[in-house]
Amino acid sequence: MSTDRHDDPPDAFHPDTLAVGFGYDPQDASGAVKPPVMLTSTFAYPSAAAAKQAHRDYFDGAAPGRDAAFIYARLDHPNLALLEKRFAALEGAEEAAAFASGMAAISAILLAHLKPGDSVLHTRPLYGGTHGLLHGPIAGIGVTPVAIGDALDAASLAEAAEAASRHGPVALIFVETPANPTNGIADIALIARTAATLAERQGGRRPVVVVDNTFLGSLLQAPLRHGADLAMTSLTKYAGGHSDLIGGAVSGGKAMIGPLRRLRTLLGSHLDPFTSWLALRSLETFPLRNRRANANAAIVADFLRDHPKVAGVSYLGFLEAGTPARAVFDRQCAGAGSTFSFRIRGGEAEAFAMLDRLKVFRMAVSLGGTESLICHSASTTHYSVPPEIRREVGVDDATLRISIGIEHPDDLVADLASALDALP
């Protein structure tokens, strides 16, 4: 990780070690133990010939920017390159590209792989932004999105693929697993096999399998290992982890990430130097924060499950043995994470009364921060979703979503207990 070990393969180290130092050599920055933030929009060429070489490397290289000199910060810059290198190592991926937000990452993926006349398969429910993008602007350019009924069932997948194929070749399969906020599971390996089957029928054109890994996070699920071509995550959530930045990342093979970087340059949706620096700093404690939040979440979920005012808890750790979801969860996920929903007995009035009594939990959307958050899904994150769809995806007036932070678990449980106990 310093000069002589600079090119050691990342799998020589544990994630905790990679998170702290991988990819940075203090000798590149006057010996500074921590990487400086490079606030510059452009980079001076040492000579005219070097300028030509930098452009040749960037525009003709397989992975623009990686080993080339920097040119202009929208193309690539040192803090971005370092963040991408370390994030890719944590993901066990060949390459990663960071974007100005999770949605910017998703936008680039969709624009890179879809053209008019194509169809897209997707799991359901989708994150609101993804749903809006697919069914709004992307549908608007003549791409047909088709939802998969049950992403754990081969027959259901085949049926959706059949329906999508009637609208045009299936160019991409967008998988959100676990789903936000229902924690519904999709079988990534099964979906990758469906993509292979579709390739045979589409003259070799294999749909790109994309997994939105935001809800569980990079440390608990490795979509690339299960056959996904691209794994995207919102850095805003677990990786950023402090609710103080917005960013997104995509990881995958070199041949997939290179074109995404080039497209990012055209869209202007790179992650800026300061936010890249902040995200890198966040990565250092990512494994540590994750372990604590996951342990806290297990305690809070147990408490809620046993509470008389709680009607149900959709915590992944409670998936029933013997169900298809449990089998896929055991194979695909390394833990239950720290974001889940629960339903209290009653409706909106009881939910609001409880929320207004909380002192430790902050009432806000988003997830994966050091602080515990709670929100009433139907009136906030799912406000614009029609009630019948809300019901279908398991969001009703009694549903509350919580993201558990790294506070002391006793304080979290006590906060919830006093708010629930005060309900009539």
| Interface residue with ligand PLP, options 215, 238, 329, 340 (CB under 6 A) | 215
Give the total of residues touching ligand PLP (CB under 6 A). Answer: 15
Q: Is 236 in the site for ligand PLP (CB under 6 A)?
A: yes
| Interface residue with ligand PLP, options 80, 88, 103, 151 (CB under 6 A) | 103
User: Which stretch in 12-20, 31-39, 208-216, 278-286 sits in contact with ligand PLP by CB under 6 A?
Assistant: 208-216
Which lies closer to ligand PLP via its Cβ, residue 210 or residue 420? 210
Which lies closer to ligand PLP via its Cβ, residue 70 or residue 290? 290
SS (H, E, C) the chain: CCHHHCCCCHHHCCHHHHHHHCCCCHHHHCCCCCCCCCCCCECCCCCHHHHHHHHHHHHHCCCCCCCCCCCECCCCCHHHHHHHHHHHHHHCCCEEEEECCHHHHHHHHHHHHCCCCCEEEECCCCCHHHHHHHHHHHHHCCCEEEECCCCCCHHHHHHHHHHHHCCCCEEEEEEECCCCCCCCCCCHHHHHHHHHHHHHHCCCCCCEEEEECCCCCCCCECHHHHCCCEEEEECCCCCCCCCCCCCEEEEECHHHHHHHHHHHHHHCCECCHHHHHHHHHHHHCHHHHHHHHHHHHHHHHHHHHCCCCEEEECCHHHCCCCCHHHHHHHHHECCCCCEEEEEECCCHHHHHHHHCCCCCCEECCCCCCCCCEEEEHHHCCCCCCCHHHHHHCCCCCCEEEEECCCCCHHHHHHHHHHHHHCCC
User: Which stretch in 43-51, 53-61, 230-238, 256-264 sits in contact with ligand PLP by CB under 6 A?
Assistant: 230-238
Query: What distance in Å separates the CA atoms of residue 388 and residue 392, rounded to the nearest whole number?
Result: 6
| Interface residue with ligand PLP, options 214, 251, 275, 314 (CB under 6 A) | 214
- For the bound state, the minimum distance from the C-beta of residue 179 to ligand PLP, rounded and expressed in Å, comes to 8
Which lies closer to ligand PLP via its Cβ, residue 84 or residue 176? 176
User: Which stretch in 210-218, 219-227, 370-378, 395-403 sits in contact with ligand PLP by CB under 6 A?
Assistant: 210-218
- For the bound state, the minimum distance from the C-beta of residue 177 to ligand PLP, rounded and expressed in Å, comes to 10
- For the bound state, the minimum distance from the C-beta of residue 44 to ligand PLP, rounded and expressed in Å, comes to 33
Q: Is 265 in the site for ligand PLP (CB under 6 A)?
A: no
Q: Is 212 in the site for ligand PLP (CB under 6 A)?
A: yes
Q: Is 282 in the site for ligand PLP (CB under 6 A)?
A: no
Which lies closer to ligand PLP via its Cβ, residue 66 or residue 401? 401
Alpha carbon 52 to chain centroid distance?
Answer: 37
Q: Is 87 in the site for ligand PLP (CB under 6 A)?
A: no
Cis peptide before 178 (omega within 30 of 0): yes
Q: Is 127 in the site for ligand PLP (CB under 6 A)?
A: yes
Q: Binding marks (x or -) toward ligand PLP, 44..83, rule CB under 6 A?
A: ----------------------------------------
Query: What distance in Å separates the CA atoms of residue 71 and residue 57, rounded to the nearest whole number?
Result: 11
Query: According to CB under 6 A, which residues from 160 to 199 bind ligand PLP?
Result: 176, 180
Q: Is 102 in the site for ligand PLP (CB under 6 A)?
A: yes
Q: Binding marks (x or -) toward ligand PLP, 240..259, rule CB under 6 A?
A: ------x-x-----------
- For the bound state, the minimum distance from the C-beta of residue 232 to ligand PLP, rounded and expressed in Å, comes to 8
Contact residues for ligand PLP (CB under 6 A)?
101-103, 127, 129, 176, 180, 212, 214-215, 234, 236-237, 246, 248
